[in-house]
C-alpha cells in the first residue's frame, strides 16, 4: 500500500508538471500569438485603450488638437478633440468600431507609444507599473490661421489650405462640410455607429475633405501651370498671342469663349502677362494647343499632378489626393481637349492642397517643398524624440521663370481679376478660377495666391463649391479671393 | 500492511499559527489589492470580510490546536491561501458574488471546525461503511429525481428545496471516498487474490471484479443521466486509484483504463455534447470556429491567460469578466490573467503541497483505513484540480467541475472544507493517545 501511495504521489506530481508546462506554454510561449488572434478583438481593444495616447498639438506646442482623457469605463482612456470639427481633416478620428484616420492613423506608432524611439520610456513605465504613454506630435497647424481660415470660409462648402512655401508646413487645412471626431471616438458603440451612419448617409460626404481628398476642375487657376509651361518652352511674359473673340476648337464646330463672352482688351494679339491678368480663356486655349499636351503634362506632373487619380504620390502626413492631368496619349484623338485642359477644364482636376503647392512652388523660386503636417515628436516627458526637416519635393520651374510668373500673378491682384485679394502694403500674387463642372451647375470659385510676393511666407488656395453664396454669379475673384486675403492677412499682420 | 515509514513529527503549534497568519495576510492582501486595482481604493467591505476571514481562520486554527494538535501544520493554511485567493478573484469579478462567497467561507470554516470536533478519530467513520455509502449514492443521484432536480448549464447537478439550491454531488463525493476507504479496507484482501489472467494481467475472480464494474456502471449513469462528464470522470478515477492503492494490483489500473476508454468512446458516440467538447478542445483557437458558441469561451480563457503573460495584469487590473463563468469553471483563467504565469504556477504549487501533505498523512497513518481515506481524499483534490485546470488550459477536453477552495460556489466550498477537515484529522493520527509504531 505504501509503495502505491508513493507511486501515486509521483503520478499526481506528473499531472501537475504537465499543467505547469501547459500554463508556461500558454502564458509565455504563445502569449503573443494569442494576443493577435482575430477573436481576441475585445482584449486587443482594451490593451490599445490602456495606453495614454499622445497629444496632437498645434505648431505653438500648446494648443491641443487631440488629447487622451481618463475614462471611468472599461476602456481606460478616451480620445477628445477640444476644438470639435475644426481640425477633423487634420487629426482624423480614433474609433474602436471604425478604426483610425488621418494623423491618428499615420502617426499611430508614435501616439500609441509603439515606435522604437520610445522604448526606453515605455520600459521605464512598464517597470514602474505606470500606464503606457504615447508620444505627442507637434503639427505645423497654426491655431490662429486655422481659426481664421474656418472663419473666412464660414458656412460655404469648400476648402482652404494655407502653407509655408519655404518649408512645406501646412499652416491651415479646413473644409466644409466637416465632422466632429468626438462622437466617433467616444466609448459608446451606439453613439459611434449612429454618428458613422449619419455621416455616411449624408450626400455631402462630410468625412471627405474638400481641401485634400476630393478633386474638382481647377478652372483658370490652372493657367498658372500653363504659363509655367510656356515660360519653360521659351515664351516670355511679353510673348504675343492671338486674342480672337472666340477660339475655334479643332476637329469640331465648337468654340471656346472668354468668361462672360467678352473679348479680352488689348488688341488682336496680347501678351502672356495680359492674358493671365484678364484670365483670357480664348488666349490660353490657343497657348495650350500651341504648347501641346506633352508640354502641359510635363509641367503639371512637375507640380505634383498625376496622370490618373490612382497614380502619383506626393508624400503627405495624411492621405492626399494629388491633382490629375491626363496622360498625353489621352489627347491624341481629342485635340479640343488640349485647349479645354489649358483652362483647367475637361479631365484636369485638383484640390486646394494641390493648388497651394503650385502657388507655393512659384513663390518659393520654383522649388516645391514636400507638404507636411508634423514637424516634431515629443516623448511624454517633453523631450524631443524626432524632428522632421523640410524636404524638397521637386523643382517644377527655374528660379527666373518663377520670378517672371510671380510678377504676372501680382498684376492679377493689382489690376486683374483678383483685386479682391489686395492687402494694403503687401504685394500679393494670385490667380482666380471659376470652374464649370456640368450643365446647369453653379461654378466652383477658386483663388490661389501667395504673399508677400517677393519673399512669400504663406501660400493659400481656396475653393468655394457650387457657386457658394453667389450661385451662378459666383467667380473666383468675388467669392474665393476675399477668403484667401483674410487668411493671408491673419498670417502677415502678426 | 506495511509499517509506517513516515514518522509523524512532533506537534508544531508555532508553525501552524505562523502559517495561518501568513495565509490570512495573503488572503486579505489579495482582496485589498483587488479592490485597489479595480477601484483605486481599499474595499469598503474590508471590515466585514476582514473579520470573517480573521475570525474564521483563527477559529479553524484554534480548533485544530485543541482537537487535532498533532495535525500537519501546513494543510489548513495551504487551503486557506487558496480560499483567500479565490475569494479575492471572485470579489474582483463581482461584489455580489463575493458577499455570497464570504458567507460560504464562514459556513465552510464552521463545517471544518464541526467536522474536527465531531470526528475525533477518523476510525469512527469506519463503523458506518454502508450508511455513509448509501448516503453518498443518494446525494449523488438526488438531482435525477423530478421535482427537486434542476438542470443548470446542461448538466443535472442541482437540487433545489425551497430557496436553498445546492449541488449534492459535491458532498456526495466526500462521502463516497469515505465509503470506498472503508469498504476497500475490509475487502482488499479478497480483491488482491488473482486467480486467472490474460497474458501478464493477473485478475481476481469475477465476483471480486464486480465492484469495479459497478462503479464503472455508476459513473456511466452519472454521465448518461446527469450528463455530467467531469463528475463521471472524477468518480471513476478516484475509485480506480483507491482500488489500486488498496490492493496493490496494477491490473485494476489497466482494467480501469480500458473501461474508461470504452466509456469515453461510448459517450463520444452517444452524445453530441461530448463530441462538441472534444472538438472545442481541439479547435478552440481555429480561426474558422473561434467565433462559434462554445469555442469562444475556451478561446477567451486562453486569451485571458495569454494577456496575463509571465507576471499578470495585477489583481483588479485585467478583464477576466470577458471569460464566461469566470468565477466558477474558469476562475483559473482569471487568476492567470491577473497574476500571470507566476500566479498560476504558484496556485498549482499550493495544490501540489495540499495533495502532497495529504498523501504524507496517508503514509503516516498507522491504520489501513486512515491511509486509504487520506489517499482517496488527496486524489479527489488532485484529480478535480487536474480535470478543471487541464480543461481550462486545453490539456484535456473541458468538463465543468469546480476548482477546489477557489471557485465560487457554496456546496463545493463547504464539502471541500469537510474533506480538508478529514485530511487534517488523519494527519493528526488516532486520538486520544498517539500510538508510536516502529518501522
- What SS3 string covers B259-328? HHHHHHHHHHHHCHHHHHHHHHHHHCCCCCCCCCCCHHHHHHHHHHHHHHCCCCCCCCCCCHHHCCCCCC
Distances (CA, A) of B375 to A4, A104, A162, A379, B51: 10, 62, 83, 60, 34
Q: Are the beta carbons of B307 and A22 separated by less than 8 Å?
A: no
Query: Which of B426, B427, B404, B429 lies closest to B108 in space, CA to CA?
Result: B404
In this predicted structure, what is the pLDDT of residue B434? Answer: 47
Q: Which of A6, A483, A481 is nearest to A220 (CA)?
A: A481
User: Does B3 score more than 50 pLDDT?
Assistant: no
CA distance A286 to A278: 15
Asked, as a colleague might, if the bond just before B243 is cis with ω within 30 of 0, I would say no
The sheet carrying A170-176 orders its strands as A170-176, A158-163, A458-464, A444-451, A429-435
pLDDT confidence tier of residue B439, bands split at 50, 70 and 90? very low
Report the residue from A18, A26, A74 with minimal CB separation from B306: A26
What the block records as the C-alpha cell of B72 is 500537519
Half-sphere exposure of A422 (CA within 13 A, CB side): 11
Q: Are A159 and A212 in contact (CB under 8 A)?
A: yes
Answer yes or no: A220 catalytic.
yes
Exposure string for A391-423, b = 16+ CB within 10 A, e = fewer: eebbebbeeebbbbbbebbbbbbbebbbebbeb
Please say if the pLDDT value at position B436 is more than 60.
no
Query: What pLDDT score does B236 carry?
Result: 85
Question: Which residues of chain B have a CB within 8 Å of the CB of A76?
Answer: none
Residue B200: per-residue pLDDT:
57
Chain B interface, mutation test: which of A21, A39, A70, A71, most B Cβ atoms within 10 Å? A39
Instruction: Provide, rounded to the nearest whole percent, the portion of chain B with pLDDT above 70.
Output: 85
Give the mean model confidence (pLDDT) for residues B268-291. Answer: 85
Do B248 and A3 make contact, defined as CB atoms within 8 angstroms?
A: yes
| Inter-residue contact A124 to A113 (CB < 8 Å) | no
Beta strands at A56-57 and A136-139: parallel, antiparallel or unpaired: parallel
pLDDT of residue A300: 97
Return the half-sphere exposure (C-beta side, CA atoms, 13 A cut-off) of residue B339.
23
Q: On the CB side of A49, how many CA atoms lie within 13 Å of its CA?
A: 28
Euclidean distance between CA atoms A273 and A269, whole angstroms: 12
Only one residue has cell 494543510, namely B75
B359/A9 Cβ within 8 A: yes
Residue B159's pLDDT band (cuts 50, 70, 90) = low
* Mean pLDDT score, B314-333: 88
Provide the pLDDT for residue B14. 83
Query: Which residues have C-beta within 8 Å of that of residue A324, sequence separation ≥ 6?
Result: A215, A305, A306, A307, A308, A309, A347, A348, A349, A350
Task: Decide if A28 and B5 are in contact by the 8 Å CB cutoff.
Answer: no
Suggest the residue from B7, B292, B296, B302 to mutate for an interface test with chain A (most A CBs closer than 10 A): B302
Neighbours of A153 (CB within 10 A): 27
* Confidence (pLDDT) at B148: 65
Residues in CB range of B182: below 8 A, 6 or more apart = B125, B126, B128, B129, B132, B133, B369, B373
Query: For residues B158 and A214, which has the higher predicted lDDT (pLDDT)?
Result: A214
Which of B188, B293, B303 to mutate to probe the A interface, most A CBs <10 Å? B303
Residue A159's DSSP bridge partners are A175, A463
Closest CB from A5, A35, A37 relative to B375: A5
* A1 → chain B, closest CA residue: B245
Question: Chain A: nearest CA to B55, how far in angstroms?
Answer: 33
Q: What is the predicted pLDDT for the residue at B4?
A: 46
Cβ contact B75:B358 at 8 Å: yes
Find all residues with CB under 8 Å of A329, minimum gap 6, and list them.
none
- Write out chain A's pLDDT in tens, 494 residues: 889 999 999 999 999 999 999 999 999 999 989 988 888 888 888 888 888 999 999 999 999 999 999 988 778 899 999 999 999 999 999 998 888 999 999 999 999 998 988 888 888 887 777 788 999 999 999 999 999 999 999 999 999 999 999 999 999 999 999 999 999 999 988 999 999 999 999 999 999 999 999 999 999 999 999 999 999 999 999 999 999 999 998 888 889 999 888 999 999 999 999 999 999 999 999 999 999 999 999 999 999 999 999 887 899 999 999 999 999 999 998 989 999 999 999 999 999 999 999 999 999 999 999 999 999 999 988 899 999 999 999 999 999 999 999 999 999 999 999 999 999 999 999 999 999 998 889 999 999 999 999 999 999 999 999 999 898 899 999 999 999 999 999 999 87
CA distances from B223 to B217, B276, B392 (A): 10, 15, 20
What are the angstrom distances between the C-alpha of A6 and each of A3, A37, B192, B363?
Answer: 5, 43, 19, 8
Take residue A418 and report the three cell numbers written for it: 483678383
In this structure, what DSSP letter does residue A329 have? G
Reply yes or no on whether the pLDDT at B10 is more than 70.
no
Minimal CA separation from B304 to chain A, in Å: 8
Taking only residues 10 to 39 of chain B, the set having a beta carbon closer than 8 angstroms to any beta carbon of chain A reads none
What gap in Å lies between CA A158 and CA A442, rounded to an integer? 13
Q: How confident is the model at residue B165 (pLDDT cuts 50, 70, 90)?
A: low
C-alpha cell at A13: 506530481
Put simply, whether B94 touches A (Cβ < 8 Å) is no
Considering only the beta carbons, identify the residue of B290, B322, B359 that sits closest to A42.
B322
| Contact residues of A toward B, CB < 8 A | 1-6, 8-9, 12-13, 15-16, 18-20, 22-24, 26-28, 30-35, 37-40, 42-43, 46-47, 74, 129
CB B403 within 8 A of CB B386: no
Q: Which of A185, A220, A279, A427 is catalytic?
A: A220
Q: Which residues pair with A77 in a beta bridge?
A: A70
Residue B1: its pLDDT value, please? 42
10 Å Cβ neighbour count for B291? Answer: 12
Flag whether the ipTM exceeds 0.85: yes
- The confidence score (pLDDT) of residue B321 equals 85
Which region among B16-20, B83-87, B232-236 has the lowest average model confidence (pLDDT)?
Answer: B232-236
Lowest mean pLDDT among A354-363, B319-328, B403-412, B428-437: B428-437
Backbone angles phi, psi at A369, to 5 degrees: -85, 150
* Choice among B374-383, B406-415, B426-435 with the minimum mean pLDDT: B426-435
Who wins on pLDDT, B207 or A99?
A: A99
**Chain A residues in contact with B304 (beta carbon < 8 A):** 43
- What's the pLDDT at B251? 83
Which tens digits make up the pLDDT trace of B30-58? 999 999 988 888 999 999 999 999 999 99
Mean of all residue pLDDT scores within chain B: 86
Q: Which residues 327-386 of chain B have a CB within 8 Å of chain A?
A: 336, 340-341, 344-345, 348, 351-352, 355-356, 359, 362-363, 368, 371-372, 375, 378-379, 382, 386
Distance, in Å, from the CA atom of B196 to the CA atom of B203, rounded to the nearest integer, reads 5
Position B146 scores a pLDDT of 66
> Distance between CA B98 and CA B331 in Å, rounded?
13
**How do residues B342-354 score in pLDDT, each as one tens digit?**
999 999 999 999 9
The reply to whether residue A27 touches residue B371, judged by beta carbons under 8 angstroms, is no
Amino acid at each position: 500500500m505504501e509503495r502505491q501511495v508513493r507511486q501515486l504521489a509521483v503520478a499526481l506530481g506528473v499531472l501537475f508538471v504537465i499543467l505547469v508546462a501547459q500554463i508556461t506554454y500558454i502564458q509565455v510561449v504563445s502569449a503573443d500569438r494569442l494576443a493577435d488572434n482575430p477573436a481576441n478583438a475585445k482584449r486587443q481593444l482594451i490593451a490599445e485603450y490602456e495606453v495614454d495616447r499622445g497629444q496632437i498639438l498645434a505648431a505653438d506646442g500648446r494648443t491641443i488638437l487631440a488629447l487622451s482623457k481618463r475614462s471611468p469605463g472599461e476602456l481606460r482612456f478616451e480620445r477628445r478633440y477640444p476644438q470639435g470639427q475644426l481640425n477633423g481633416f487634420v487629426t482624423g478620428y480614433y474609433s474602436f468600431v471604425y478604426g483610425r484616420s488621418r494623423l491618428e492613423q499615420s502617426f499611430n506608432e508614435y501616439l500609441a507609444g509603439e515606435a522604437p524611439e520610445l522604448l526606453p520610456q515605455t520600459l521605464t513605465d512598464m517597470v514602474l507599473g505606470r500606464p503606457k504613454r504615447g508620444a505627442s506630435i507637434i503639427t505645423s497647424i497654426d491655431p490662429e490661421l486655422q481659426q481664421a481660415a474656418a472663419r473666412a470660409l464660414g458656412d460655404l462648402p469648400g476648402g482652404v489650405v494655407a502653407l509655408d512655401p519655404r518649408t512645406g508646413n501646412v499652416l491651415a487645412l479646413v473644409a466644409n462640410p466637416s465632422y466632429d471626431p468626438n462622437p466617433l471616438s467616444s466609448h459608446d458603440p451606439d453613439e459611434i455607429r449612429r454618428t458613422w451612419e449619419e455621416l455616411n448617409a449624408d450626400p455631402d460626404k462630410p468625412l471627405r475633405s474638400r481641401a485634400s481628398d476630393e478633386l474638382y476642375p481647377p478652372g483658370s487657376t490652372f493657367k498658372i501651370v500653363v504659363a509655367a509651361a510656356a515660360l519653360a518652352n521659351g515664351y516670355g511674359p511679353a510673348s504675343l498671342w492671338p486674342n480672337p473673340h472666340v477660339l475655334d476648337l479643332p476637329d469640331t464646330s465648337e468654340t471656346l469663349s472668354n468668361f462672360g463672352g467678352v473679348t479680352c482688351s488689348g488688341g488682336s494679339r496680347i501678351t502672356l502677362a495680359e492674358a493671365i491678368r484678364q484670365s483670357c480663356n480664348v488666349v490660353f486655349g490657343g497657348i495650350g494647343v500651341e504648347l501641346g499636351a506633352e508640354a502641359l503634362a510635363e509641367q503639371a506632373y512637375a507640380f505634383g499632378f498625376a496622370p490618373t487619380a490612382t497614380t502619383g504620390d506626393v508624400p503627405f502626413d495624411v492621405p492626399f489626393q494629388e491633382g490629375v492631368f491626363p496622360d498625353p496619349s489621352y489627347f491624341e484623338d481629342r485635340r479640343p481637349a488640349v485647349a479645354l485642359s489649358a483652362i483647367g477644364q475637361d479631365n484636369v482636376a485638383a484640390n486646394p492642397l494641390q493648388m497651394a503647392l503650385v502657388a507655393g512652388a512659384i513663390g518659393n523660386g520654383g522649388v516645391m517643398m514636400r507638404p507636411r503636417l508634423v514637424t516634431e515628436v515629443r516623448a511624454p516627458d517633453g523631450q524631443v524624440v524626432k524632428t522632421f526637416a523640410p524636404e524638397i519635393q521637386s523643382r517644377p520651374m527655374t528660379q527666373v521663370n518663377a520670378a517672371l510668373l510671380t510678377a504676372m500673378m501680382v498684376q492679377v491682384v493689382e489690376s486683374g481679376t483678383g483685386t479682391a485679394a489686395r492687402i494694403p502694403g503687401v504685394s500679393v500674387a494670385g490667380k482666380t478660377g471659376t470652374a464649370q463642372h456640368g450643365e446647369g451647375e453653379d461654378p466652383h470659385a477658386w483663388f490661389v495666391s501667395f504673399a508677400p510676393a517677393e519673399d512669400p511666407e504663406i501660400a493659400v488656395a481656396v475653393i468655394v463649391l457650387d457657386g457658394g453664396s453667389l450661385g451662378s454669379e459666383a467667380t473666383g475673384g468675388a467669392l474665393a479671393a476675399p477668403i484667401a486675403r483674410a487668411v493671408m492677412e491673419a498670417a502677415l499682420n502678426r | 500492511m506495511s509499517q509506517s515509514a513516515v514518522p509523524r513529527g512532533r506537534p508544531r503549534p508555532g508553525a501552524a499559527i505562523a502559517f495561518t497568519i501568513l495565509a490570512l495576510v495573503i488572503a486579505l492582501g489579495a482582496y485589498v489589492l483587488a479592490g485597489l486595482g479595480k477601484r483605486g481604493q481599499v474595499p469598503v467591505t474590508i471590515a466585514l470580510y476582514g473579520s470573517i476571514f480573521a475570525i474564521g481562520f483563527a477559529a479553524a486554527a484554534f480548533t485544530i490546536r485543541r482537537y487535532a494538535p498533532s495535525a500537519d501544520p501546513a494543510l489548513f493554511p495551504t487551503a486557506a491561501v487558496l480560499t483567500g485567493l479565490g475569494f479575492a478573484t471572485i470579489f474582483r469579478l463581482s461584489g455580489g458574488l463575493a458577499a455570497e462567497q464570504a458567507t460560504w467561507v464562514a459556513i465552510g470554516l464552521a463545517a471544518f471546525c464541526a467536522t474536527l470536533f465531531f470526528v475525533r478519530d477518523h476510525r469512527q467513520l469506519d463503523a458506518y461503511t454502508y450508511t455513509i455509502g448509501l448516503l453518498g449514492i443518494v446525494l449523488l443521484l438526488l438531482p435525477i429525481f423530478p421535482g427537486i432536480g434542476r438542470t443548470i448549464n446542461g448538466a443535472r447537478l442541482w437540487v433545489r428545496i425551497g430557496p436553498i439550491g445546492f449541488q449534492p454531488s459535491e458532498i456526495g463525493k466526500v462521502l463516497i471516498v469515505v465509503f470506498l476507504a472503508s469498504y476497500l479496507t475490509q475487502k482488499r484482501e479478497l480483491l488482491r487474490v488473482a486467480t486467472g489472467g490474460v497474458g501478464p494481467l493477473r485478475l481476481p475472480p469475477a465476483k471480486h471484479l464486480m465492484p469495479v464494474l459497478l462503479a464503472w456502471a455508476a459513473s456511466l449513469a452519472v454521465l448518461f443521466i446527469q450528463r455530467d462528464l467531469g463528475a463521471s470522470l472524477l468518480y471513476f478515477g478516484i475509485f480506480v486509484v483507491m482500488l489500486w492503492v488498496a490492493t496493490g494490483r496494477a491490473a485494476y489500473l489497466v482494467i480501469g483504463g480500458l473501461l474508461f476508454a470504452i466509456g469515453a468512446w461510448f459517450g463520444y458516440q452517444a452524445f453530441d455534447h461530448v463530441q462538441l467538447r472534444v472538438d472545442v478542445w481541439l479547435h478552440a483557437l481555429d480561426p474558422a470556429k473561434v467565433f462559434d458558441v462554445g469555442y469562444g469561451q475556451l478561446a477567451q480563457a486562453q486569451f485571458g491567460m495569454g494577456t496575463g503573460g509571465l507576471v499578470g495584469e495585477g489583481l483588479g487590473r485585467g478583464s477576466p469578466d470577458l471569460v464566461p463563468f469566470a468565477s466558477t469553471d474558469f476562475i483559473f483563467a482569471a487568476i492567470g490573467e491577473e497574476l500571470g504565469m507566476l500566479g498560476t504556477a504558484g496556485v498549482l504549487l499550493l495544490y501540489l503541497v495540499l495533495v502532497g501533505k495529504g498523501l504524507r498523512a496517508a503514509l503516516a497513518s498507522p491504520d489501513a483505513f486512515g491511509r486509504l481515506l487520506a489517499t482517496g481524499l488527496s486524489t479527489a483534490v488532485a484529480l478535480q484540480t487536474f480535470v478543471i485546470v487541464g480543461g481550462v488550459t486545453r490539456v484535456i477536453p473541458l468538463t465543468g467541475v469546480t476548482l477546489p477552495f477557489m471557485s465560487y460556489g457554496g456546496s463545493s466550498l463547504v464539502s471541500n472544507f469537510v474533506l480538508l477537515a478529514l485530511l487534517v484529522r488523519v494527519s493528526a493520527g488516532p486520538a486520544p493517545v498517539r500510538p508510536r509504531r516502529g518501522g
